[in-house]
Amino acid sequence: MRKEFIIEKSNKMIELGEKIGRLLTSNMIITLEGDLGAGKTTLTKGIALGLDIKAIINSPTFTIMKIHDGRLKLYHMDVYRLDNNSGDDYLEEYFEAGGVCVIEWANNINYLLPGETLKINIKQIDEERRIVEIEATSKEYIDLLQGVNL
């Protein structure tokens, strides 16, 4: 199942993320792709709100991962600098740690990812507008995606 949203402003990106975050359950994985500045971290801020996380959310580019407490733990990863020679295979243990993983630049660690994830790709149309494409293939992610509307 696929859904596509046109996002006009950053607050709408946060709203979309919050709707996704409210529907997340334990051990779900969201992969985020998109160019620099497309809105991956902005969407993650909304997901955190949906998980009742009060902390400031920013990109963990240099630390690889930040962990935030809420209704479920959020394992926010930015794997831009990783590849299969990086020695960061330990990240895999967080996929089933009872929280939610949001992985920016997830294609860089495809070799670690399980088969089922919620795949989100963000494309910039112009300075303000984005196309957000969301793809779900397993029942739990399809059920989640059916509940996401703007």
pLDDT of residue 139: 97
Quote the pLDDT of residue 59.
Answer: 87
Q: Say how many C-beta atoms besides its own lie within 10 A of residue 22's C-beta.
A: 17
pLDDT at residue 62 is higher than 90:
no
pLDDT reported for residue 12: 97
Which class for 10: exposed (0-12), middle (13-18), buried (19 or more C-beta within 10 A)? middle
The Cα–Cα gap between 82 and 137 comes to 26
CATH number of the structural domain spanning residue 52: 3.40.50.300
- The domain of 115 spans 2-146
